[in-house]
Amino acid sequence: MTTEPVTETVATFCSWCGGETTGADLAGSSAEHERCRARLALVDPPRHCPECGRRMVVQVDPMGWTARCSRHGETTSASRGQR
């Protein structure tokens, strides 16, 4: 009877390289995708959907970027900047 809180979407794919990520990656304790996260933390848009690993359609404009997954919709630089 365990009820796990589902308050957060857990990414299972690296949104930079599209590789699979683990909990350790997300927590920042793994070095495997450290460089990917570093790039994403700067100005580079994600290339892959973190939820399904598909390649996203990325559009860059002066205000930032918009990345669209055909399954999961848009992610924008503004929405990512909140974390």
Contacts with Zn ion, residue ranges (CB under 5 A): 14, 16-17, 19, 33, 36, 49, 51-52, 69, 71-72
Q: Cβ of residue 8: shortest distance to Zn ion, in angstroms? A: 16
3-state secondary structure of 21: coil
Q: Cβ of residue 55: shortest distance to Zn ion, in angstroms? A: 10
Report the residue number, 44 or 51, with the smaller CB distance to Zn ion. Answer: 51
Q: Cβ of residue 79: shortest distance to Zn ion, in angstroms? A: 14
- CA–CA distances in Å: residue 63 to residues 13, 75, 76, 78: 26, 14, 10, 9
- Rounded Cα distance, 73 and 25, in Å: 24
